[in-house]
Structure 1
């Protein structure tokens, strides 16, 4: 079924103490801790694509043994429960030891193709890093993570994956808005899957403690296991390898940011402990997709005042986080200059990837110097006119640019009065856009095809996820299954999913779960 080798446990030092009791863990990268059993596990959904990648059949996924393992009630042969230790900067401030507070690993499996995958259960109970919490997860957050992990994969964006969503049969007490009104909610567990769950914070914590030996061992391990494709000369010393390796992390992170910006995705909590060393989207909390275009929008209620993690700041925050990682890795080098130089990889990669992404979104053959002004103008107009980002680009791709009409974009406006105000400048912009397209000499069909490959028809809007949560809470998973179907073909226009392509309705503008969310979401 699954073949485990659990290299992290075997090659990196562990905590000598077992169990979930809270403690500061020094000199170790992981702690053994058992998942807390649940009363009545029930499979709500699972990903056929992820199961196939792991070498699992439908029969495997529907077996009782698998259900017990994916709920934390049992272990398959080779599985081991543990949690890892890391720190991080949260909202720009050093938070000290954090760790897997509600994630418990099942181990590392290697599939028939030789691909390594780490499996972990999110919401499986308390660990030494739970910080006085119960280590559980509620249905609403688990359903959102399950759907978004797989939605991002099908959009073509680097991401951790989700194998399964299991209802626990137990209730969890949560104060959703941190306003002193906790309520009982149904519990659930997501099985998350990734080639590696190592984060920036795994390196920051030993660096903060001046534990150079542990930092060195973790760095060597990560290079060998997770970056095996980087062929370093056998005799190259670590201090020479680190800047090259860090440059690759910068490159991957830059590409990820360009992809988020391309589809209008906002992570919401870009703390350094939520940054993947592999450049994957990781930790789906109060995320969201831009509805009406607004670079200052954040889905996170905790971030509402400062907007540190708003849509438009994501590339800058990613670079800031890389600087913090560089500070940690600098302890392994005689001097930090090579790491500073490697940071330039982020700047150059992001600049090129974003320019290419914009050219693709607008159906241009390539990016030219004078395109920036044209794009800035339309983005400013979209912001002022509250134009839906996803709808706008799909309609723009469908438009006959031989005879452009602003009316063809009317459906992307949320407010009629803003349409009345802004359709004249929109028409003027379309004329200039049409002239720009003539330089490329692409046919209407070729331009439409190219634009539809990069501008999704479907994104997992928060109000849709909330509807699925509301129904699933009542025992109805039909909306969950409908969303799961639509998000697996996000660039296709499918009549059976037409209702899911609509603009955010007015009732969802301020409704809890449909606009901004808390970190417990």
Structure 2
């Protein structure tokens, strides 16, 4: 197994001088050296062919014993030094202090085809940042992360990636719902891959400790390695850097809103500096269109990270990053201008995104109210977001089109549509039909474009749960079926039509389908 190994992160950034793998506060360091935990009976369940190729590996490589050992932490490659990253963060709006990679261990960096990738194991054992946890992961959460990160990529959403999914052969004790009912589950490890795993908290930790020397070191490294087009580090460059991070963060969240994805735990330590979706925990896709929905039981009371609040939370997190970067910039007005631009850009980008979902290519002053009224009527009765927008492309702006019948499949309880709600729907479709007349495009062309924006298949929680239930009984076939399905989320795939359906009623209140904790 030949890899073009690079170690830029560990070469250019300060290391923890203490080599003991003990829980502690780590100061003046970006990372601590650690060794993954040996597992008793590792077994490879799945490998992403695309990520295999991105790293320059062959099919023979990933079927080798060496590959299995590396991606389960049982072998450390020569000239590599695994490490866990030090960072801090705000969790649910409160400053949490040092956090760090509690169950993630970075193995090495690989350069291939002029791209740099960090390869990381999630669930490979404790680190100095594990606090009271064991640093391990279970099959349940590992399947969810493995499938989702690759599915998001194929949806066109900026994301970290996944290389492999493996069993450890060990049992791990977990309390799924934090309700005092722990049980042993199958241990597993996901090999995650990203150009960088730096997150907002990587900068917050040094700012909070007033360690401006190392703050500058890590910011300069970030710019040189990941934003080289901005030029040499300077105060002006730092402002440009912050502006680009804001832009990338907003672009990512707009994509989340477009496909109905809810991250569930948008703490600052879960926000990538590259604007990538990172740390797939209690995530979920909207079933019924609902701005107030969150998949995270920990957030069920205040719903801080609900679907409709994700853009606001992106801005809140960027304010925390601004505070962290301020010692290097010392220009509050310039930074405030960047943050104000985020708000303006969100309004513009959100409307542009909704226009694309509706198949509107031209700008029209009436579009704001058309979108707002649609969002209002969608919430009058439980309406599946994915099915609604996918089927909407079948609507024609002529007398032969009955809007309600075209989207009927999206309603969970069609009989719940009162006469008043039906009238509102008919009124909206009349306005939509009139608006489409202003578009100089054939219906077939519009449908084709809309079907590249509105996915037919997303990883609904119940789908992941079915794969988990089968895997718990030793059947891993559904993992591959869903993996293959989600590689082409915008294609019709009639042979997989059974997955283009509303959440089944049995999944409405089932743990893992509607309720997820941070251990999920």
Hey, what's the Cα distance between the residues in 1 that align with 2:345 and 2:152?
Answer: 21
Deviates more, 1:192-201 or 1:351-360: 351-360
Deviation of 1:256 after TM superposition, in Å, equals 0.7
What secondary structure does 1:206 align onto? Answer: helix
The 8 Å contact of residues 404 and 434 in structure 1, kept in 2 or not, is answered as no
Hey, what's the Cα distance between the residues in 2 that align with 1:238 and 1:383?
Answer: 48
Hey, what's the Cα distance between the residues in 1 that align with 2:517 and 2:363?
Answer: 38
The 8 Å contact of residues 297 and 307 in structure 1, kept in 2 or not, is answered as yes
Deviation of 1:334 after TM superposition, in Å, equals 3.2
The 8 Å contact of residues 356 and 366 in structure 1, kept in 2 or not, is answered as no
The 8 Å contact of residues 275 and 281 in structure 1, kept in 2 or not, is answered as yes
Partner of 2:511: 512
Deviation of 1:19 after TM superposition, in Å, equals 3.2
The Cα offsets for residues 226-273 of structure 1, whole Å up to 9 and x where unpaired, read as 11232x2x5xx6222111110000010111111000000000000000
- Counting only pairs closer than 5 Å after superposition, residues 209-220 of structure 1 correspond to structure 2 as 209-220=209-220
Match of 1:312 among 280, 292, 308: 308
Partner of 2:396: 400
The 8 Å contact of residues 256 and 280 in structure 1, kept in 2 or not, is answered as yes
Partner of 1:174: 174
Partner of 2:127: 127
Deviates more, 1:370-379 or 1:301-310: 370-379
Partner of 1:260: 256
Partner of 1:286: 282
Deviation of 1:427 after TM superposition, in Å, equals 1.9
1:242 and 2:238 correspond: yes
Which consecutive aligned stretches of 4+ in structure 1 deviate over 4 angstroms post-superposition? none
Hey, what's the Cα distance between the residues in 1 that align with 2:410 and 2:236?
Answer: 52
Deviates more, 1:85-94 or 1:435-444: 435-444
The Cα offsets for residues 116-147 of structure 1, whole Å up to 9 and x where unpaired, read as 10110000000000011100001010000000
The 8 Å contact of residues 145 and 285 in structure 1, kept in 2 or not, is answered as yes
Partner of 1:426: 425
What secondary structure does 2:189 align onto? Answer: strand
Deviation of 1:369 after TM superposition, in Å, equals 2.0
Partner of 1:63: 64
- Counting only pairs closer than 5 Å after superposition, residues 124-163 of structure 1 correspond to structure 2 as 124-163=124-163
Deviation of 1:21 after TM superposition, in Å, equals 0.6
Deviation of 1:347 after TM superposition, in Å, equals 2.5
What secondary structure does 1:398 align onto? Answer: coil
Match of 1:417 among 415, 418, 438: 415
The 8 Å contact of residues 149 and 162 in structure 1, kept in 2 or not, is answered as yes
What secondary structure does 2:192 align onto? Answer: strand
What secondary structure does 1:385 align onto? Answer: coil
The 8 Å contact of residues 200 and 273 in structure 2, kept in 1 or not, is answered as yes
Hey, what's the Cα distance between the residues in 1 that align with 2:357 and 2:79?
Answer: 46
Deviation of 1:420 after TM superposition, in Å, equals 4.5
What secondary structure does 2:207 align onto? Answer: helix
Partner of 1:440: 439
What secondary structure does 2:437 align onto? Answer: helix
Deviation of 1:282 after TM superposition, in Å, equals 0.3
Hey, what's the Cα distance between the residues in 1 that align with 2:377 and 2:341?
Answer: 32
Deviation of 1:445 after TM superposition, in Å, equals 0.2
The 8 Å contact of residues 65 and 74 in structure 1, kept in 2 or not, is answered as yes
Partner of 1:344: 340
Hey, what's the Cα distance between the residues in 2 that align with 1:469 and 1:19?
Answer: 36
The 8 Å contact of residues 154 and 489 in structure 1, kept in 2 or not, is answered as yes
What secondary structure does 1:246 align onto? Answer: helix
Hey, what's the Cα distance between the residues in 2 that align with 1:9 and 1:46?
Answer: 27
The 8 Å contact of residues 253 and 346 in structure 1, kept in 2 or not, is answered as no
- Counting only pairs closer than 5 Å after superposition, residues 63-82 of structure 1 correspond to structure 2 as 63-82=64-83
Gaps of 5+ in 2: none
The Cα offsets for residues 98-128 of structure 1, whole Å up to 9 and x where unpaired, read as 00000000111111x2111011000000000
Hey, what's the Cα distance between the residues in 1 that align with 2:467 and 2:347?
Answer: 37
The 8 Å contact of residues 397 and 434 in structure 2, kept in 1 or not, is answered as no
The 8 Å contact of residues 151 and 460 in structure 1, kept in 2 or not, is answered as yes
The Cα offsets for residues 466-485 of structure 1, whole Å up to 9 and x where unpaired, read as 00000011110111111101
Deviation of 1:92 after TM superposition, in Å, equals 0.2
The 8 Å contact of residues 364 and 437 in structure 1, kept in 2 or not, is answered as yes
Gaps of 5+ in 1: none
Hey, what's the Cα distance between the residues in 2 that align with 1:315 and 1:95?
Answer: 22
Partner of 2:272: 276
The Cα offsets for residues 390-426 of structure 1, whole Å up to 9 and x where unpaired, read as 0001111022332221112111000133235533321
Hey, what's the Cα distance between the residues in 2 that align with 1:43 and 1:72?
Answer: 12
Instruction: Provide TM-score, normalisation by structure 1.
Output: 0.97
Hey, what's the Cα distance between the residues in 2 that align with 1:137 and 1:229?
Answer: 38
- Counting only pairs closer than 5 Å after superposition, residues 315-394 of structure 1 correspond to structure 2 as 315-394=311-390
Q: May I ask how many residue pairs the two structures share in their alignment?
A: 516
Deviates more, 1:70-79 or 1:405-414: 70-79
Instruction: Provide TM-score, normalisation by structure 2.
Output: 0.97
Hey, what's the Cα distance between the residues in 2 that align with 1:466 and 1:95?
Answer: 31
The 8 Å contact of residues 87 and 205 in structure 1, kept in 2 or not, is answered as yes
Deviation of 1:337 after TM superposition, in Å, equals 2.2
